Amino acid sequence: MDPAAEELKNQANDVFKTKDYERALELYSKAIEVDGTSAVLYSNRSFAYLKTESFGAALEDAGKAIELDPKYTKGYYRRASANMAMGQFSKALKDYESVFKVKPKDPDVRKKVQECRKIVKQRAFERAIASEEKEEAPLTNYENITVSDSYKGPRLDENCQPTVEFMEQLETTFKAQKELHKRYIFHMLTIALEKFRKLPTMIDISVPNDGKLTVCGDTHGQYYDLCNIFKLNGQPSAENPYLFNGDFVDRGSWGLEVFLTLLGWWLHDPKCMYLTRGNHETKNMNELYGFEGEVKHKVGPNAFRSFQTLFQSLPVAYLINKRVLVMHGGLPMVDNIALDDIRKLDRFMEPGEGGTLTDLLWADPQDAPGRGTSKRGTSAQFGPDITAEFCKQNGLDYIIRSHEVKEKGWESAHGGKCWTIFSAPNYCDQRGNDGAYLTIRPDNNLVPIPNEFKAVEHPPCQPMMYANPMMRMAGLA
């Protein structure tokens, strides 16, 4: 390796260890500009991309590392990790097996091969039984679950309309790291599913002239930071409504508490809480990044299916005062999509590799004009011209989306027509970012006002605690 490139690589490695992955990416890229023949540099940059959830870019760099040095095992390891993160399990297994041939005594590699084989077999089995199923499996029947007298937590009546008192008791229960009874969990899921199924895929919100709406981004199981949002900005009510823009679960270790809290407020009054489906309200993501494992641990081995069904019923977009469109990911990747097209979109499914549903959950903005390859490997990226044209065609002032960590918790791009909001401060206990929420008021001409906040302390429970063990990755070179 060129000495100058070696120096830049060492600097990047040091920065990487401080968890400043964006800066590490810059330094690895500079090193590659100096010496583009080093498999190590591409492999290390691939790892940094993995840390920033840019799985498509990580996959590309891993492939380049393998091209430069077909015997470099970390290249295969990185490519396997990227494919795992994207749900491409068969491809990941092939690369893990390549590494295993070289390092048959490595316990980490051996475990990954075993785990990956298990997932591939499980997926094959699921596909086989899915082809035989004619009807959707029902949610767990809450009426068959009894509540013993020893249960001291909050209780719901048969109407399943949580009161403010219930919600306050629920917060006390969750902060004490105790659980809501399973009967009430399944009761909430059952009633919510009935109601969500009747809603369109895109919902209109009308904020009165003297009112406001608070838009929050990803919370990712960071329950104590969610409680802090309500402390800073007030308890949800019809006069103080919130829109939480997807990715309630995964990564953080309190996704169940986050989602049940938000769902409880929605059941209390749909005009005090609006919920958008994010890319992490999907089966693939939940299997890998922790929510499936969390639900199995906290609720029961077969409970996740009920959450999966409810997630498929969540709306995927909101239109505020006919002038602001909110979705988790980004804009459709085909031209001339009208708001009515989104409103009529069939959302009751898992998103595929492409299509408008996938774009709304996965797409990202870019600085360059036009559309570009997704850094995530799913959907694509859209430039300022795409945003401007979409807003013009649909009579919008701007769009709000989430889906990306931002240093201040928010970002305004594309000439103020594309806002990103992210509400998980110090993401995964390691990124050091602020969280933020946006305040939107008609009397301020709907101009969003960002409000930044820091992470708060939480009990000693590591993020990714319930994630698939396959998501651990090898170190730097």
Query: Annotated active-site positions, please?
Result: 280
The token duo for 444 is 């301020």
Q: Which residues pair with 410 in a beta bridge?
A: 421
DSSP state of 444: G
Task: Using the Cα atoms of residue 256, residue 257, residue 260 and residue 266 in order, give the sign of their dihedral.
Answer: negative
Q: Are 55 and 82 in contact (CB under 8 A)?
A: yes
DSSP state of 271: T
Q: Are 253 and 290 in contact (CB under 8 A)?
A: yes
Helix (H, G, I), strand (E, B) or coil at 404: coil
Q: Are 179 and 173 in contact (CB under 8 A)?
A: yes
Alpha carbons 370 and 385: distance in angstroms, whole number: 6
Listed residue (367, 417, 358) closest to 387, CA to CA: 417
DSSP state of 218: B
Q: Are 418 and 447 in contact (CB under 8 A)?
A: no
- Backbone φ and ψ of 381, nearest 5°: -115, 150
Q: Are 423 and 219 in contact (CB under 8 A)?
A: yes
The token duo for 156 is 């719901």
